[in-house]
Copies of this chain bind each other. A is one copy, B any other.
Amino acid sequence: MVSRVAMILESFDSSVELSASEIGRATGIPLPSAHRILQELVRVGFLEQDEGSRGYRLGLHLWELARRNSTHLELRDAAIPHLERLQSRFRCIAQLAVLQGTDIVYLEQVGDPSSVPNVTRAGIRLPAVACSPGLVLAAFSSPDRQQEVLNSKKARFTDHTVVDKGRLQEIVLKAQQEHSVTVDGWLHPETSGIAVPVFMSSGTAIASCSVLVRSDSPGRNAIKEQLMLTGRELAKTIKTRRIGVPDSSLEMLKMRLRSLSSSRKIWPAPGTAAGPE
C-alpha cells in the first residue's frame, strides 16, 4: 500500500492536475483501488481535488509536512543570504545542493533564471557525476561513496560533458587539492559551473555552494575566490546555528541529534486561547 501511495504521488511528475483514470493508467493501479486511495489521500491533505473538474493535484499540506523539521531546509534557510550576496555581486545564478546517493538535489537557486542559460532549478535532481556540485561533493565524501558516484550512469548533456571515468577521477582528485570544481559547458554549452564544498567540522562536505556564469564571462577567478569565502562563511553559520544535515550515506559523519527547540506549529501558550464566540 505504501508503494501505491508513492506511485500515485510520483505520477504528478509532469502534470499539475491528473484525473483518476490518468493516475490509474500511469500507476497500473486498478481504478476502483485507485479511487479509494485517492479519496484517502485527499482526506489527509496529500492531494487536493478540484470541485469543478474533479481532477487531483498535489496538496500544499504535503509541502508543509516535508518542510517541517528538515535539517536540509534549515541549511537552505541559512544559505539564502549568502547566495543572495553572491548573486547580487556577480549577477550570476547561485545554488545550494546536497548529495543524495549518486544524485545531487538542488535545495535552492537564487538569481534570474533567464540571466544565464541554465537547466537547473530548486527542487530538481541531477546525476552527481554530471555537474560541478556533484563532483565537489564526491571529492569530500567517503571513498566508497566517491566510487559509487564515479561508477554511476553517465549522461552526456552537451558535447562538452565529460563521461570518461578516468578524466572524472582526475577532476575529483584536483577538487580535493583545490577545494573547488569548475566545469565548462557540461549542462548547457554556454554556461560554466563553479562549485565549492561546505564543510562540517568533521571535514566531510555536507553541501555545495555553486554558481552558474556564462562561459565567456570575465573575472571568473574573482568569482571563484568569493565563492570559496562564501563556502567557509556558510560553514561558520551552520556551526553557529548547530545545523546538522544527516546523511546515512556519509559514513564519516557522526550526527549529533537534537530536537528543535520550537515547533513549527504556532499557537498561543496554553490557557490564553479564547473560544469561538
Q: How far is the CA of A202 from the CA of B95 in the complex (A)?
A: 36
Residue A266 CB within 8 A of the other chain: yes
Residue A15 CB within 8 A of the other chain: yes
Instruction: Given A164-B277, A274-B155, decide whether A68 and B2 contact each other with a Cβ distance below 8 A.
Output: no
Q: How far is the CA of A251 from the CA of B50 in the complex (A)?
A: 10
Residue A50 contacts which of B50, B126, B248, B274 (CB distance < 8 angstroms)? B248
- Number of copies of this chain in the oligomer? 2
Instruction: Given A123-B264, A125-B64, decide whether A255 and B13 contact each other with a Cβ distance below 8 A.
Output: no
Would you call B266 and A2 a contact (CB within 8 A)?
Answer: no
Residue A165 CB within 8 A of the other chain: yes
Give the secondary structure class of A's interface. Answer: loop
A57-101 residues with Cβ-Cβ distance < 8 A to B are 57-58, 60-73, 77, 81, 84, 98, 100
List of B residues within 8 angstroms of A70 by Cβ: 16, 57-58, 60, 63
A18-39 residues with Cβ-Cβ distance < 8 A to B are 37
List of B residues within 8 angstroms of A53 by Cβ: 255, 257
Would you call A3 and B44 a contact (CB within 8 A)?
Answer: yes
Residue in chain B with minimal CB distance to A150: B277
CB distance from A81 to the nearest CB of B (A): 8
Residue A117 CB within 8 A of the other chain: no
Q: How far is the CA of A5 from the CA of B154 in the complex (A)?
A: 35
Q: How far is the CA of A89 from the CA of B125 in the complex (A)?
A: 34
Looking at chain A, what size class is its interface with the partner chain?
Answer: 35 or more
Residue A151 CB within 8 A of the other chain: yes
Name the residue in A40, A254, A257 with the highest tally of chain B Cβ atoms < 10 Å from its Cβ: A257
Would you call A248 and B48 a contact (CB within 8 A)?
Answer: yes
What are 20 A-B pairs at a CB distance below 8 A? Answer: A1-B1, A1-B2, A1-B5, A2-B46, A3-B44, A13-B265, A15-B259, A16-B70, A16-B259, A17-B257, A63-B67, A63-B73, A64-B125, A67-B123, A125-B265, A154-B274, A154-B275, A154-B276, A156-B268, A156-B273
